[in-house]
Amino acid sequence: MTLFVIGILFMLIYIMQMNIPTKAILLISCPDQPGIIARISDFIYKNKGNIIDVDQHTIHTEGLFLMRVEWQLEGFAIDRGDLEKHIKVLLNPLNALWHLYFSDKRMRIAVWVSTQDHCLLDLLWRVRAGELAGDIAVIISNHRVVEQMAIQWNIPFVYIPVTKDSKIHEIPQKKILLDYQIDTVVLAKYMQIVSSAFIKKSPIMINIHHSFLPAFPGAKPYNQAYIRGVKVIGATAHYVTADLDAGPIIEQDVIKVSHRDEVADLVRKGQDLERVVLARAVRLHLEHRVLVCKGKTVVFE
């Protein structure tokens, strides 16, 4: 009986999602000049698109213009398959970098964990709750601790132990990311350094680091925080680059601590931050709200 009700529920969710009209999302960055907004909004209007949301930012010191525009495709004069071509014509004169996304193309995520499962469980829950514009396609781990959780949530689990010969062990991982057609890798407390060779070839990676970077990079940040005697601890979600814990920051948050908090308390309080900071970053990324520019992010919330 229960399963029947749950089944109905899922069908309803599916039908509701069918009815959400598809939107196009365009991310642009180009040298600043007058008339960019007019050019783009005019293009959408003339082709009978209805802009849902537009956000723009100029980095004056760099002379860079950045923009995110989202419009309904229903009734749009240009066919979805031809849209890229038209946008190329529109934006080429601006010397622009741009990406086009469609809201009905759900992103595919690989969550990569070690033995801690709190961020993973949180992401699993959020995907099911419909908070994230993506699906967890596979869970990868160098331990078997979370395998049971993967089974219960019906997500494929791949066990890849970390060996000394890291160059070799990354070959199966690359294959997995290809096999599962992964768009985004989320390091949800993976606790291992990923080689720069792998980072270069991997889909974009988001990591959660358990400190307010740039304070306490590297290993054991809560221990570092305890020793230093800070009065706030934090968590940072960032894109992974070859420089350890130095990639563009997407989201950060902190919580107050006191001398009463021992390392175990910092871990406990910090985990509450890690969950929400990572989830917010993943949500923003999956909705194509983050642009990277000069090692920093512009987040169109």
> How near is the Cβ of 215 to a copy of itself at its closest, in Å?
4
SS3 16: helix
Tokens at 119, concatenated: 């961020």
> Using omega within 30 degrees of 0 as the cis cutoff, is the peptide bond preceding 214 cis?
yes
Q: Which is nearer to a copy of itself, 135 or 147 (CB)?
A: 147
CA 78 and chain centroid, separation: 29
* Contact indicator for 281, 252 with CB cutoff of 8 Å: no
Which of 199, 208, 211, 185 shows the shortest CA–CA distance to 281? 208
Query: What's the min distance (Å) between Cβ of 171 and a copy of itself?
Result: 24
Q: Would you tell me which residues interact with a copy of itself (CB under 8 A)?
A: 1-3, 5-6, 34-35, 37-39, 41-42, 44-46, 48-58, 60, 118, 121, 125, 129, 131, 144-145, 147-148, 152, 212-216, 228-232, 234, 248-254, 256, 258-260, 262, 268, 272, 276, 279, 295-299, 301
Task: Select 35 or 81, whichever has its Cβ closest to a copy of itself.
Answer: 35
Q: Measured from the CB of residue 160, what is the shortest distance to a copy of itself in angstroms?
A: 15
Active-site residue set: 245
Of 123 and 177, which CB lies nearer to a copy of itself in the complex structure? Answer: 123
Q: For a copy of itself, which is the closer residue by CB, 55 or 195?
A: 55
User: 111 is written with which tokens?
Assistant: 């969550």
Q: How far is the CB of 92 from a copy of itself (least distance, A)?
A: 19
